[in-house]
Amino acid sequence: MSAGRVLREGKDEAKLAPGERLGRYELIEQLGVGGMAEIFKARATGPGGFQRTVVLKRILPANCSDPSFVRMFVSEAKILGMLHHPNVIQAYDFGESGGTLFLVLEYVDGPSLGDTVSVLRETGRTMPIGVACHIARDVCRALDHVHNLRDADGAPLNVVHRDVTPSNILLTATGTAKLLDFGVAKYRASQARSQVGTIKGKPAYLAPETLDQRDVDHRTDIFSLGIVLHELLTLQPLFEGDNHQITFYRVLNMEIPPPSQARPEVPPELDAVVLRALQRDRERRYSTAQEMARDLDQFLAAQAFPSEEAVAFVQDLTALIASRQPPEIPSFNQLVATEERPGGHTIETAETVPGKGIRGNFGERVRRFLLGRSRE
């Protein structure tokens, strides 16, 4: 099917709801909506009672009229179709239904790293140093596979993820980290090009060369991973400011503190790994993700961190979240706008009811955490 057909038919695509089907996939519930696509937890079915839980990512109908969105979506599918690694989210299918494209991905039975960090902050806990290194080492292995991807003729594709952030790293129940979301990835054969002056990625996790509008390469992803590892160790955002301008300034100019400044028990050897990944001069940064993984492996071996620690961490954290009861769901009448009735009776609003509004959405965060997805 041509992109032109997608563009014409996608405009009439109805909004999907749980219980409906998209091809052979039954939608269970919506997990999130972004600027380009919506994501569902779904069930693949087949003969003889075959079933498999998957994630279905569908390009939003409104974006089907924009060729750039279609190209980005197709590019992501092409990259994922070539990637086969235990630390990279697996793509199972890519298809079309009702005039819109969809991508079927592996369902991960654990939280995103972004949700994990949020819960640790809320509960006043820290991430074990060994677990943080284990996760970063897994992501290094994923990036090494991504950066060395070749086409069918053996030519390097020079893939750069460009969006290595906590929300794009998932943890399985067995403690394995998986990298996902190649929606803004750059590679040699990609038709999805950035416009001049356009910055791809989340501001607080960008490398200096991205902000300077220089060409990015695989070392750009290593800098982003350095930011992530720093945050896992300290539970503090490294560069994030109150606005993009402050964040950009910090990425380009702020003196980068070693993690031990915020967490004294971080050993000097690990400080050195993090600060090397965060070198603004790419020539002084790790030259490959494999090189960074090797240093993390050596550190883990020297410190004798047990590999089972990551499994126990995910299990304990999941149990912690499950044990925290979400607030009672308010009735419809409680959600009616506040007004003063005769006799002084007041109807509660979403802002005043626990579990609703900006300050009381813990129940929603728990639900997203257990689903292993973020609505960011």
**Same domain assignment for residues 153 and 301:** yes
Residue 262's pLDDT is: 97
Average pLDDT over residues 249-256: 96
Catalytic choice (115, 138, 163, 221): 163
201 and 276 share one domain: yes
Q: How confident is the model at residue 93, as a pLDDT?
A: 94
CA distance linking residue 5 with residue 115, whole number of Å:
38
> What string of H, E and C letters represents the secondary structure of the chain?
CCHHHHHHHHHHCCCCCCCCEECCEEEEEEEEECCCEEEEEEEEEEHHHEEEEEEEEEECHHHHHCHHHHHHHHHHHHHHHHCCCCCECCEEEEEEECCEEEEEEECCCCCEHHHHHHHHHHHCCCCCHHHHHHHHHHHHHHHHHHHCCECCCCCECCCECCCCCHHHEEECCCCCEEECCCCCCECCCCCCCCCCCCCCCCHHHCCHHHHCCCCCCHHHHHHHHHHHHHHHHHCCCCCCCCCHHHHHHHHHHCCCCCHHHCCCCCCHHHHHHHHHHCCCCHHHCCCCHHHHHHHHHHHHHHHCCCCHHHHHHHHHHHHHHHHCCCCCCCCCHHHCCCCECCCCCECCCCCCCCCCCCCCCHHHHHHHHHHCCCCC
Q: Which of 282, 187, 183 is nearest to 226 (CA)?
A: 282
pLDDT of 202: 87
**202-236 per-position pLDDT tens digit:** 899 999 999 887 889 999 999 999 999 999 999 99
Q: Are 9 and 79 members of one domain?
A: yes
Please indicate, yes or no, whether residues 147 and 63 belong to a single structural domain of this protein. no
Residue 19 lies in a domain: yes
Asked if residue 120 and residue 101 are part of one domain, the reply reads no
For residue range 9-68, list pLDDT tens digits in order.
Answer: 444 445 777 778 888 899 999 988 877 788 999 999 888 888 999 999 998 887 877 888
CATH assignment at residue 202: 1.10.510.10
Q: Mean pLDDT across the stretch 105-114? A: 91
- The confidence score (pLDDT) of residue 59 equals 87
pLDDT above 80 (res 310): yes
Question: Is residue 49 domain-shared with residue 126, that is, in the same domain?
Answer: no
Q: pLDDT tier at 355 (50, 70, 90 boundaries)?
A: very low
Q: Is 242 an annotated catalytic residue? A: no
Domain ranges, residue 91: 3-106
Q: How many CB atoms lie within 10 A of CB 221?
A: 27
In this predicted structure, the answer to whether residue 312 has a pLDDT above a threshold of 60 is yes
Does 167 map to a domain?
yes
Q: Which of 106, 122, 142 is the last residue of a domain?
A: 106
pLDDT at position 21 is 87
Q: What CATH number has the domain bearing residue 95?
A: 3.30.200.20
Q: Is residue 316 part of a domain?
A: no
237 domain residue, yes or no: yes
Per-residue confidence (pLDDT) for residue 331, from 0 to 100: 45
Phi-psi sector, 373: left (phi>0), alpha (psi -120 to 50), beta: beta
Rounded to an integer, what distance in angstroms lies between the CA atom of residue 234 and that of residue 264? 10
Q: How many domains does the chain have?
A: 3
Shared-domain flag, residues 67 and 161: no
Closest CA to 302 of 136, 129, 185: 129
Confidence (pLDDT) at 70: 86
Residue 319: inside a domain:
no
> Are 172 and 127 in the same domain?
yes
Task: Write out pLDDT tens, residues 185-208.
Answer: 888 755 444 444 455 668 999 999
